[in-house]
Amino acid sequence: MKAAVFRNPHQPLTIEQVDISNPKSREVLIRTAAVGICHSDLHYIDGYYATPVPTVLGHEAAGIVEKVGSEVDYVQPGDHVITCLSVFCGYCEFCITGRPFSCVNPKTARPDNEPPRLSQNGEIIHQFYDLSSFAEQMLIHEHALVKVRKDMPLDRAALIGCAVTTGVGAVVNTADIEIGATVAVIGCGGVGLSAINGAAIAGAGRIIAIDIVDSKLETARQFGATDTINSTVLDPVETVRELTSGGVEYSFEALGTKRTSEQAFEMLRQSGVATIVGMVPEGQMIEIEAAELTNDKRLQGSNMGSNRFRVDMPRYVDFYLRGQLKLDDMISKRIALENINEAFKDMKQGELVRSVIVFDPE
């Protein structure tokens, strides 16, 4: 199959032929239909996070089942599916206490003494987040996918695999906001827009979107923002405090930088909760004023929107088909796999919301 291979940080991905194995007992072979270009992938390309190489990146995908292993009964060939990096085992401490998003994934990857799922000329190609979606096919554990309705467009379904689940989930699962709550979202890319959309669906009373690109702020209004702040023009912390008489009840950081994470905490009112959704580079420290903790302010993380994806994702599909989840406006470009490096260049420029790789139909 054709895949985009990541060999070294700060180097472009290369389009190569990669061998993919047949599914074992609990594995599923998927023909990739669409995969989103996510900022998390860029973190690895830019060297902010480490992963074994060579590898095939990509994790925000949807496709059609081609083959299933002998013990798989959840899906069958022809089913439409969304993949999720929150692969769960079903029996570890996290799974059985209702936190499958924190699963330590025992026995969902192939053992080292078995042939790898991906290879090239007999050498291993590492699998990224148990998925490796920048490829024409994916071979994954059955607990890394969810079956969805066939009337759901697969290019938009792919966005649910990460951006939507992460952003909406941070609002409704991790933070569990109340109806009428005041909310601020820093960063209006795919995850941030999803958080804004999720806050609107959940009934937030005021939703303040913060970014440095006016076109993204305009899109944020379409997703449910009631107010917008261009942080190159106005100080976001002071402006949020002025708009809300002291600060918001909930803030969400969806960029992954040290300073915006600190700002998310600084713009809280008393008893407010700041949720860091973006991936702050490894090794960086977030500094907050400790005395503010005595005002019952909290700073917390969110792992993939604290999802239970086999429950959450079909609901998000229904929200989209009812017109509540605004995925159409999230896709800025549809591209071929061969244009993947240009898509990452576009992402660095910060103008686009989401590029989606769409593979040729069968």
pLDDT in tens, 128-168: 999 999 999 999 999 999 999 999 999 999 999 999 999 99
Q: How high is the pLDDT of residue 104? A: 85
- Tell me whether residue 141 is one of the annotated catalytic residues: no
- DSSP annotation of 103 reads -
How much is the pLDDT for 271? 97
Q: Domain 2-148+331-358: which topology?
A: Quinone Oxidoreductase; Chain A, domain 1 (3.90.180)
CATH architecture of 167-302: 3-Layer(aba) Sandwich (3.40)
Comparing CA positions, the residue from 76, 73, 74, 69 lying closest to residue 25 is 69
Annotated catalytic, 162? yes
Chain centre distance of CA 150: 22
Instruction: Kindly report the pTM of this predicted structure.
Output: 0.95
Q: Is 103 a catalytic residue?
A: no
Question: What's the pLDDT score for residue 349?
Answer: 86
pLDDT of residue 107: 84
Which residue among the candidates 39, 40, 103, 188 is catalytic per the annotation? 40
What is the pLDDT at residue 354? 92
Q: What is the pLDDT of residue 362?
A: 42
Q: Is 10 a catalytic residue?
A: no
Q: Which DSSP string corresponds to 128-174?
A: GGGT--SBSEEEEEGGGEEEE-TTS-HHHHHHIIIIIHHHHHIIIII
Q: Of residues 84, 95, 103, 162, which has the active-site annotation?
A: 162
How many of the other CB atoms lie within 10 Å of CB of 287? 10
What is the pLDDT, as a whole number, of residue 87? Answer: 96
Instruction: Tell me whether residue 40 is one of the annotated catalytic residues.
Output: yes
**What residue ranges do the domains of the chain occupy?**
2-148+331-358, 167-302
The sign of the dihedral angle between the CA atoms of 95, 48, 234, 213 is: negative
Q: Please pick, among 21, 25, 39, 43, the residue that the annotation labels catalytic.
A: 43
Residues of the chain with pLDDT below 70 are 361-362
Catalytic residue from among 38, 84, 95, 103: 38
Q: Which of 39, 59, 80, 141 is catalytic?
A: 59
Note the pLDDT tens digit of each residue in 51-88. 999 999 999 999 999 999 999 999 999 999 999 999 99
Query: What is the amino acid identity at position 143?
Result: H
pLDDT reported for residue 112: 86
